[in-house]
Amino acid sequence: MEKQQRWKALRLRGLRQRWIFNSIVPIVLLLVLIVTLFSAGVSSYYYGTMEKGLETRAQALANSFNEYFMDNGFGSYYQKAVQSAEFFEDKNCIELQFIGSSGRIQVSTSGLTAGTSPRTEDISQALQNQPSRPYRGRDLETGEEIMAVSCPLTANGRVVGVIRLVTSLRAVDRQVMLVVLAIFLVALLCMLLVVFSNLLFINDVVEPVAVVTEAAKRISAGSYGARIENKYSDELGELVDNINDMSLKISQNEKMKSEFISSVSHELRTPLTAINGWGETILEDDLEGDPVQLRRGIRIIVNESRRLSNMVEELLDFSKMEDGRFTLQIENVDLQAELEDAIFTYQELFRQDGILLEYSPDDMLLPMIPGDPERLKQVFCNVLDNASKHGGAGKRIAVSIVQEGSEQVVRVRDYGPGIPEEELPFIKQKFYKGTSKARGSGIGLAVCDEIINLHGGTFTIGNAEGGGAVVTIRLPVQA
């Protein structure tokens, strides 16, 4: 028991793992992609905005110097550079540098960098009067992450220096990091909500599946008829209903199967006992002096042998039905002639049992129909025999055949006690005998129904008005 519970836990855990892997992993990957793209977008926006702002200010300052101060000599330029550095309004966050043609800083809002040579790409590009791209990297002097923009200063068409704006990326990096962290936390919260909701959902699925699995195992182990309490209103509820229905039908089939085996055993034993008893009597006793008794014994042996043959034929037909070998030999058939042959076969037997057999043919000559004459006669004989066994108490059986539209209809009615209403839906099922005590295997009507269905017709059984049961066989005139 403990081993089964451990194995059940392992299976449930495996199901949860597969569920989480198949549902959570794609969501995680999607969230990682969204966070990555959004973070890249935020970073690009912040740094791009900063670059654009520095470029605009640096270009405006360079244009101002190139237009008004560079052609008046170095003294005028230097004086204006010192003045611009002294009164630069954003010196707390942006460093303004004036760099000579040698690459050395001449004037700066930060006295610490004056006289140094930054040697970054933006400066060399500006000194060569090439389009300068913003520099973003580590300051060689301080080791700090910076962003710098350089624009050339020209005098008489020649580059004599560079104006440069430099700012630290510490504040921007912090801001970008805070935004990315906020995005990550939101994604993490979404992920936790998804995981929590999936765990709740999988628990709601796994536990019922475990219950259904255990019930299915009990049914497969032989607990036919076991039922599962249905507490669900969704697909699981439908599954439980189907399993309960399956269990009930298996239980019913097993019961009918057991009854069938018992019934067939009894049915076989009875005629064999009679045949064996009368055979021994004929062999051992001297019945030559009593021909009546001898004929009686031989008649019993013949009748019981015929009954055994009929039972064997039914069993063979049933076997063919089960494995799909039940076929027809179709030809044009005179249905009325086949019915009358069956009536002639049973009329004398019915008379001996005190049963009146009434036959009402159609007033018109009925046309031939496609069918298997042997199988159709088998149906008629079976129905007549069934009527005598179950309705013989009424001492009367009425048979008729008529043409109704595109069908020929045969009706066989007895005047016995009829069929209980609750048994009518099951009367054509294999092995079903209901409350009837009449002898038989319980598969004759199922074989008849199969034969008529293969002909494209219908085989129905019901209770007739005024008492008794009626069998109605409808066969199409044309295939």
Residue pair 128/115 in contact (Cβ under 8 Å)? The answer is no
Q: For residue 64, is it within any domain?
A: yes
Q: What does the pLDDT look like over 128-187, one tens digit per residue?
A: 888 778 898 888 777 788 999 999 998 888 888 999 999 988 888 888 899 889 988 998
Structure tokens at 452: 């008529």
Exposure class string for 205-230: b at 16+ Cβ within 10 A, else e: bbebbeebeebeeebeeeebebebee
On whether both 350 and 377 belong to a single domain, the answer is yes
Cα 147–148–154 angle (5° rounding)?
170
Q: Which of 174, 195, 221 is the last residue of a domain?
A: 174
Q: What is the pLDDT of residue 468?
A: 87
Q: For residue 306, is it within any domain?
A: yes
Residue pair 125/112 in contact (Cβ under 8 Å)? The answer is no
- Give the CATH number of the domain where residue 10 resides: 3.30.450.20
On whether both 340 and 417 belong to a single domain, the answer is yes
Q: What is the pLDDT of residue 172?
A: 85
Q: For residue 186, is it within any domain?
A: no
- Domains of the chain: total: 3
On whether both 301 and 352 belong to a single domain, the answer is no
On whether both 41 and 100 belong to a single domain, the answer is yes
Q: For residue 235, is it within any domain?
A: no
Which comes out higher in pLDDT, residue 141 or 384?
384
Q: What is the pLDDT of residue 324?
A: 67
- Of the candidate ranges 49-53, 56-60, 112-116, 406-410, the one whose mean pLDDT is the lowest: 112-116
Percent share of the chain, pLDDT over 70: 85
On whether both 276 and 128 belong to a single domain, the answer is no
Structure tokens at 67: 């237009």
- The candidate with the shortest Cα–Cα distance to 466, out of 425, 422, 426, 415, is 415
Q: What is the pLDDT of residue 1?
A: 47
On whether both 263 and 385 belong to a single domain, the answer is no
- Of the candidate ranges 36-40, 306-310, 456-460, the one whose mean pLDDT is the lowest: 306-310
Q: For residue 31, is it within any domain?
A: yes
Q: For residue 277, is it within any domain?
A: yes
Q: For residue 92, is it within any domain?
A: yes
On whether both 310 and 349 belong to a single domain, the answer is no
- In this predicted structure, the answer to whether residue 458 has a pLDDT above a threshold of 90 is yes
CA pair distance 458, 473, nearest whole angstrom: 6
CA pair distance 339, 341, nearest whole angstrom: 5
Q: Which of 127, 144, 174 is the last residue of a domain?
A: 174
Q: Which of 125, 156, 174 is the last residue of a domain?
A: 174
Residue 18 lies in domain:
2-174
Residue pair 105/99 in contact (Cβ under 8 Å)? The answer is yes
pTM of the model: 0.45
Q: What does the pLDDT look like over 411-422, one tens digit per residue?
A: 999 988 888 888
On whether both 469 and 426 belong to a single domain, the answer is yes
On whether both 310 and 338 belong to a single domain, the answer is no
Q: What does the pLDDT look like over 2-47, one tens digit per residue?
A: 545 554 444 545 666 676 677 778 888 888 888 889 888 988 888 8
Residue pair 476/406 in contact (Cβ under 8 Å)? The answer is yes
